[in-house]
Amino acid sequence: MQLPYNPGDVRRIDELLNNHWPDAACELQARDPFEFLVAVICSAQTSDQRVNQVMAVLQEHLCGLPAYAAISIPDLSALLSRLPLYRQKARAISECARLISELHGGELPRDPHALRQLPGVGAKTAAVVLGNRLGVPAIAVDSHVARCSQRLGLSRSTQATSIELDLCRRFPQDRWVQLCHQLIRLGRAHCRPKAPRCSSCPLRRVCPANGVNDAR
Ligand code: SF4
């Protein structure tokens, strides 16, 4: 598929993202990789701030994967009750703890396929965990990453899998993880879904969608 950007434009986008969000990183708070997986599962349909409030509660009661494998689902649900879908999340977390303990010796697998076999772990969750806690380069496509990639001309696709492949082709591996956090920052601050703030966007000079539905 012909994409609208040449490598020079990608380099300029990369420079601007690095200039404006040099410290962009995951904001979920967790003490170990399993707790990070718990936080990412909890983050579906809610904010990082809300998840961090709930993680603080979890950290008061539970420490390490064995504690999550031992707690009952009703008790875990009660601890998660400030989250949307908390019963489903509690079931997924409990089952993850059991399976990781039984099948992977208590360690999160670094293999993307094995991670995605766990309940509640889709492609995006697996990529977030791999990239941010397991040292495996990965691109996690959420709604911000998808929208910003489309508007910046980095991908023409609306499918997360294809957007991920387009970004993987265009950016070096060592940029993948932070690139996602930078696109999320861009999406929250400027490139909003319905009324993008193009006039204040630091990428406006390289963006083919500059001015389209600009909220000003
Ligand atoms: S110029 Fe507008 S459409 Fe382009 S990235 Fe910035 S906010 Fe989004």
Share of the chain above pLDDT 70, in %: 95
Mean pLDDT, the chain, rounded, equals 94
Q: Model's pTM, two decimal places?
A: 0.91
Q: Indicate the top mutation candidate among 9, 14, 191, 197 to test ligand 1's pocket, ranked by most ligand atoms within 8 A of CB.
A: 191
Which domains occur in the chain, in start order? Answer: 7-24+141-206 (1.10.1670.10), 33-133 (1.10.340.30)
List active site positions.
124, 142
pLDDT band at 76 (very low <50, low <70, confident <90, very high): very high
Shortest-distance atom of ligand 1 to CA 209? 3
* Gap between the Cα atoms of 159 and 157, Å rounded: 5
Q: How far is the CA of 29 from the centre of ligand 1 (A)?
A: 29
Q: How far is the CA of 204 from the centre of ligand 1 (A)?
A: 6
Backbone phi, psi, residue 85, to 5°:
60, 30
Would you say residue 7 has pLDDT above 60?
Answer: no
pLDDT band at 216 (very low <50, low <70, confident <90, very high): low
Q: Assess contact for 51 and 37: CB atoms under 8 A.
A: no
Q: Assess contact for 120 and 41: CB atoms under 8 A.
A: yes
Compute CA 105 distance to the chain's CA centroid, rounded to the nearest angstrom: 26
Would you say residue 3 has pLDDT above 90?
Answer: no
Would you say residue 2 has pLDDT above 60?
Answer: no
Per-residue pLDDT of 25-70, as tens digits, reads: 999 999 999 999 999 999 999 999 999 999 999 999 999 999 999 9
**38 Cβ below 6 A of ligand 1:** no
